[in-house]
Structures are given as structure tokens and as C-alpha cells.
Structure 1
């Protein structure tokens, strides 16, 4: 099989292009793509635990902890003990985190749109549907659109 016919290789290249485009768009704000995911999730649903964030973002709990800790050091995230389970830390955005999240998410979504503007709306929906089927098969979990926006 020719390398250009290999779907996995094409997915990797598309992912890399998308990732670098988003990273370039938000680089002035000093956040990583994992941190963008945390900012987005916490802006939509304050009070998530690290484990909940890891499941939603499809990254390791360790990766989430690194992202949260870095954001917390910058004063963008605040963590508090869960009232019922003291071992669980709930994260939320600080006012500064909310401001940065709004700016960063807008810039990331703009970069994302520019990457995928080679496809019309119907083609983007088809791609989303096809990839979600692969994700569902690979994870064994139903694809949740509320966890992936844009």
C-alpha cells in the first residue's frame, strides 16, 4: 500500500496540521493544547475532578494533573476539596482563567475552522460521523457530542 493511501497516516498528518495550527494561534497566551481542553471543559462545567477531565479529554490522569497544576500556578484554576469525598479535588476557573479561556477558545476555534474550511459543512459532518464511529469502536463508549464542540 502506498503511504498516501494509508488512512492512519493521513489522519496523523491531518491531526498534526490541526494541532500545530491551534498551538500557533494560542502560543502568545502560553497554554498547551491539553490546557486548552481543561480551560474549555471547566468553562462549560466548573467543579470537575481530574479523573472526570481525563475521561472527557481522552488523556491520562497524569496529563490532566500536569495541565491543572500549570494553570493553577498561573492563578487560572482553583482547586477545592469535594465536600463529600475529601480525596477528590474539584477544579474551577478563577476570574482570570475565565477571561483567558474566552480568548484562547475563540482563537483555537478560529484556527480549527481555518484548518477544516477545505471541507464544506456537509463534508465536515460526514467526517465527524465517520470518525465518531471509529472512536466508539475503539473506546467501547458512545461518542458524546457535548464533549467535542467545534
Structure 2
């Protein structure tokens, strides 16, 4: 098999290019890509637990805890006990966290549009559909939206 015919190699290259583009775009905010996902999810649905975030972001619970702890130290996130289940901590964005999330997401979206702007809207939708199918069938996990309502 030629290296250029290897889907995993092409996915890795596309992922690396998109990741570095987003990292460069948000570097001024001092937020990592894992933290962007947490900020986006909490903007869309405040009060998620670390376990819920890990499932939605398809990262380890430890990775989510590291991201939440860093965001909490910066005053962007606060965690509160769930009123029904005291052992569960729910995460919420602070006022500053909402401001940073909006700025970070705007910059990340601009970078995303630059990366994938080489594809038509139809091609982008086809790529989303195909990659979603691979992830959902391969992991058995349903993908969750991570958009922010304006």
C-alpha cells in the first residue's frame, strides 16, 4: 500500500494540520485544545460532570480533570456538588469563563474555516458524515454537538 493511499496516514496529517492551525489561533488565550472542548461543552450545557465531559469529548476522565483543574485555577470554571448526588461535581463557566470561551471559540472557528475552506459545503458535510460514522460505529458512542448558541 502506498503511504498516500493509507487513510490513517492522511487522517493523521489532516488532524495535525487542523490541530496546529487551531492551536496557533487560540495560543494568545492560553487555552489548550482539550480545554477548548471543555469550554464549548460547558457553554452549550452548563453543569456537566467530568465523566459526562469525558464521554462527549472522547478523552480520558483524567484528561478532563486536568483541563477542569487548569480552567478552575484560572477562574474560568467553578465546580459545585450535584444537589442530588453529593459525590458528583458539576462544572460551570464563570462570567470570565464565558467571555474567554466566546473569544476562543470564535478564533478556533475562524481557524477551522480556513483549514476546511478548501472543501465545498457539500464536501464538508460528506466528510462530517463519514467521520461521524467511523467514530460512532468504532467506539459505540454517540457523538454530541459541541456548538455554542449565539
Shift of 1:136: 1.6
- Which aligned pairs between 1:33-48 and structure 2 lie closer than 5 A? 33-48=33-48
After superposition, the C-alpha distances for 1:28-79 in whole angstroms (9 at most, x for unaligned) are 1110000000000001100000000001111000000000000000000000
Give 3-state SS (helix, strand or coil) of 1:75's partner.
Answer: coil
Alignment partners' CA distance in 2, 1:11 and 1:21: 15
Q: Specify whether residues 59 and 5 from structure 1 end up closer, same or farther in structure 2 by C-alpha distance, changes over 3 A only.
A: same
Shift of 1:148: 6.5
Alignment partners' CA distance in 1, 2:56 and 2:143: 10
Shift of 1:13: 0.3
Give 3-state SS (helix, strand or coil) of 1:92's partner.
Answer: strand
Tell me what 2:23 maps to: 23
The structure with higher relative contact order (CA 8 Å, sep 6+) is 2
Tell me what 2:7 maps to: 7
Equivalenced residues, count:
148
Q: Specify whether residues 148 and 141 from structure 1 end up closer, same or farther in structure 2 by C-alpha distance, changes over 3 A only.
A: farther
- Which aligned pairs between 1:96-135 and structure 2 lie closer than 5 A? 96-135=96-135
Gapped regions of structure 2 (runs ≥ 5): none
Give 3-state SS (helix, strand or coil) of 1:79's partner.
Answer: strand
CA RMSD for the aligned pairs? 1.2
User: TM-score if structure 2 supplies the norm length?
Assistant: 0.95
Asked if residue 89 in structure 1 is aligned to residue 89 in structure 2, the reply is yes
After superposition, the C-alpha distances for 1:123-142 in whole angstroms (9 at most, x for unaligned) are 00111111111112111234
Alignment partners' CA distance in 2, 1:104 and 1:74: 15
